[in-house]
Amino acid sequence: MPYTPSPRFPQPARSQEPPTSTPITHSSTYMNKLRYLIQPASVMQKHGYVMQQLTEIELQQKRRCIGCGKTMSQLERAKTRSIKPKKELETNNSLISLSEAHEILTPDPAEPPPLQCKFHPGQVLNKKWTCCGQQISPSAKPCGGSPDHIPRSHDPLELVNLYQFHHTPVFQAPLPKSRPAQIRAAVAIDCEMGTAVSGDSELIRITVIDYFTSAILLNSFVEPDVPMSHLNTKYSGVTWADIRNAKRHRRCLMGTRAARRALWQFVDPQTVVIGHGASSDLRALRWIHEAVVDSASVEASRMKKKEEEETAAKKKQQEDGLAEDSEHLPILISGMTLVTGAPAEPKKKKPKGTGDLALKTLAKKYLNRDIQTSGQLGHDSLEDAVAARDVVHWIISDSE
């Protein structure tokens, strides 16, 4: 039976149908293989997943400086890293006296205090800062600042509404009989985010498909709860016209909370959620879910295992005297230094989204599928959700 989108969650008008995907047969055996790819909570945390609700202290650290815009947690980490003596207290391995050390470390009262917080005090007009005339660019150094960082003041409830994370609910809210709850065994997800005026990443589009049938469950634009700086259209593929049009036709979810509630109609704590680098998606949703299969993390583990196996095999060959490639054998120079032939070339930085673990790379490598080909028009979360689903299915099939 063909899937009919719910009137409440219709598809964005300009979104294309997903690539044709082969349905996957649901079985307990397959589900066990899928669940085997779920990583422990401790590992997920290392990959950026939030696994517990934020404490009051952590919520306070989400506040941003009214000058530079950095969060209190970012500034605290930077302060910890920068605790170093201003001047070396030891020169040519000779010790100095306590009086000399005191003179070095004591700031000159005639000098103005250093600016700990640096920013542009002006506004942006015609792509230039009114305070100094510099063009807007990452290289435009702040022309002003303040001796201290001053956090924005927030009502405690406001911090909770903005930043608190929420576990997948066990019990679903009752729904009209015309729309019975349809909890799925597994779903694939992809989200698009823009940047708020505060600097926070905010949800602007969400796509969820059934993992086994690839039926579209949710594919909607999201109007952010907060003022936005930009929608990051180059990567998100979302424009203000998209959101205005979705609101006009009542196809828009109003805020992150509404997006979570829509998602939870198809997901419970046992549902396996598949995504690529999905920590950013779950963070944008302020969502805590333990049953996640991250195709990027799974592939990274596969690559690491393969590398370890190749290293062990090469070591065994060398130990058995069977190494054939003389270029990799150590060469003694002056009886002192070990080298391995020609020096390694420095690694070149790859463009964003083209690394070995990028979804675009894995889709081409394993599925022979070209995705994210729209250039400046950005990504399509529906296309990416289907690709993440198919990559995970390929990995499971390859292990059989």
Write out pLDDT tens, residues 161-203: 999 999 999 866 565 565 556 899 999 999 999 999 888 899 9
How many Å apart are CA 11 and CA 385, to the nearest integer?
Answer: 14
Q: How wide is the angle at C-alpha 203 spanned by C-alphas 248 and 388, nearest 5°?
A: 110
Helix (H, G, I), strand (E, B) or coil at 213: coil
Helices 295-319 and 359-367: crossing angle in degrees, nearest 10, is: 70
Structure tokens at 343: 């020096």
pLDDT at 10: 47
The reply to whether 150 and 178 lie within a common domain is no
Q: What is the mean pLDDT of residues 67-73?
A: 74
pLDDT at 13: 42
The reply to whether 176 and 68 lie within a common domain is no
Q: How far is CA 186 from the centre of its chain?
A: 21
The DSSP symbol for 65 reads B
pLDDT at 337: 46
The reply to whether 283 and 310 lie within a common domain is yes
pLDDT at 339: 46
**H helix and E strand count, the chain:** 13, 15
- Owning domain of residue 370: 1-53+169-314+351-400
pLDDT at 86: 46
- pTM score, whole prediction: 0.76
Decide if pLDDT at 87 tops 80: no
pLDDT at 236: 92
CB atoms within 10 A of CB 45: 14
DSSP element (H, E) containing 339: strand 337-339
The reply to whether 202 and 261 lie within a common domain is yes
- Strands 216-223, 252-254: pairing is parallel
Decide if pLDDT at 325 tops 60: no
What is the number of domains present in the chain? Answer: 2
Torsion angle (degrees, nearest 10) of CA 152, 157, 161, 163: 50
